[in-house]
Structure 1
Amino acid sequence: MRELTPLDHLFGQLDGGLRAAFGPPPSGTRPSPASTLDDAALDEDERRLTAGLMRINHTGEVCAQALYAGQAATARSDEVREKMAEAAHEEEDHLAWCAERLDELASRPSLLNPLWYAGSYSIGAAAGLAGDPWSLGFVEATERQVEAHLDEHLERLPPQDQRSRAIVAQMKEDEARHAQMALDNGATILPAPVQKLMAVTADIMKAVAYRI
């Protein structure tokens, strides 16, 4: 087999972006945490709220695919590149679970997913160019913020909607593990102003993705 060229890697990244933004959801490697749970009856307001929250989570997973792809493309070491690829693979499960739940709720993903993907890939690539410790620091900060917003979703989801709650709870557990992976591999903790800017950007994305 011939060695892959930078152009091959570029086309591979573009293909991944198109699949995440436009293609059918990946099948995932793990069964959905909701697979053994009954679907609860939701009134229209509860269904709309749940669909909006799961659309945010789906968009977050599209962004995660892009961030990890961008960081892997510019990582300095093979070890960090492999860690990014492992985390991205788990995020594919999240993407599949959220897409399935949106379909059950008779809803859809964000129409702006291509925009979210492109922006996140650029941010991930820039983080990678800053060096592996900073790139891993970006992962740690991002995953801790995602953990917090998933906690918020668990508080807001209807108590009887055990299917959505099981998905969100498993996602939260996985994100915490990804953050710890970054710390264990030498992450540099990002300055507070940078983390604040990340949080503000994430809040804008969540507000838009909830509706569009």
Structure 2
Amino acid sequence: MPNIDRIVLSFDRALRTVSAQAKSSRPYPAATVTTEDALSEQEKKHSAGLMRVNHVGEICAQALYDAQSAFSHTAEVTRQLQHSCIEEEDHLAWTASRLKELNSHTSFMNPLWYAGAYTCGVIAAKCGDAASLGFVVETERQVEAHLAGHLKSLPAHDNRSRAIVEQMRVDEVAHGAAAQALGASETPQPIKMVMKLMAKVMTSTAYYI
């Protein structure tokens, strides 16, 4: 694809992502939850904070996968990254829907999160497919652990949020496994530590803003 076309498509995806225009290609997991106890205002606020963090994570996932697929070196890797990106867009739409149900908002810093993640994705891709796939594996490993923590932290009877987070967790594990199968290299420990630090800053901020 000519560079100018790729730039235009990437810019269009970025606008749709940060403006909450994502659409799901799969059913909304919370639709299967027909009954649940009413949440208190404090519980709603906590659930909304966690789902806002998850929404930001999906903003970053869109940016990472978009950048890594655009600058990957083989068609096979490109296809896998694009497939994962589609499922991550489902997550983006689901978390946005849940935030609306909780009468809350997405992060006001979404453009900044997207730009930072896209830059990281380009850097990872420029290091070669093995390193880029290794970055995916480590990212998904950290995200899976983060989602498992949210399943414990969500109010016990917030079954709608729980259904969404559990499906997201299953998908993230599959994305990491797919990247590993394509020949991912091990991410150096210092980079893993930097990734954890960046994630902590993001989650701590996005919970409130």
Q: What TM-score does the superposition give when structure 2 sets the normalisation length?
A: 0.98
What is residue 69 of structure 1 aligned with on the other side? 66
Q: 1:12 aligns with which of 9, 13, 24?
A: 9
> Structure 1 residue runs of 4+, over 6 Å off?
none
What is residue 47 of structure 2 aligned with on the other side? 50
Residues 100-150 of structure 1 deviation map (CA, whole Å, 9 limit, x = unaligned): 000000001000000000110010011000000000000000000000000
Q: Percent identity?
A: 48
Q: 1:185 aligns with which of 182, 187, 202?
A: 182
What is residue 153 of structure 1 aligned with on the other side? 150
Q: Partner letter of residue 44 of structure 1? A: E
Give the Å deviation of 1:155. 0.5
Structure 2 unaligned blocks of 5 or more:
none
What is residue 26 of structure 2 aligned with on the other side? 30
Give the Å deviation of 1:39. 4.5
Q: Partner letter of residue 84 of structure 2? A: A
Distance, in Å, in 1 between the alignment partners of 2:52 and 2:20 is 16
Q: Partner letter of residue 14 of structure 2? A: G
Distance, in Å, in 2 between the alignment partners of 1:40 and 1:75 is 47
Secondary structure of the structure 1 residue equivalent to 2:69: helix
The answer to whether the Cα contact below 8 Å between 2:148 and 2:169 also exists between their aligned partners in 1 is yes
Residues 3-55 of structure 1 deviation map (CA, whole Å, 9 limit, x = unaligned): x411011110011001101242x221111111021353111111110000000
Q: Partner letter of residue 55 of structure 1? A: R
Secondary structure of the structure 2 residue equivalent to 1:34: helix
Q: 2:119 aligns with which of 118, 122, 143?
A: 122
Residue 39 to residue 107, structure 1, CA distance change in 2 (3 Å): farther
Residues 81-116 of structure 1 deviation map (CA, whole Å, 9 limit, x = unaligned): 111100000001101110000000000100000000
Q: 2:93 aligns with which of 67, 91, 96?
A: 96
Secondary structure of the structure 2 residue equivalent to 1:211: coil
Structure 1 unaligned blocks of 5 or more:
none
Distance, in Å, in 1 between the alignment partners of 2:5 and 2:66 is 14
Q: What TM-score does the superposition give when structure 1 sets the normalisation length?
A: 0.96
Distance, in Å, in 2 between the alignment partners of 1:148 and 1:33 is 20
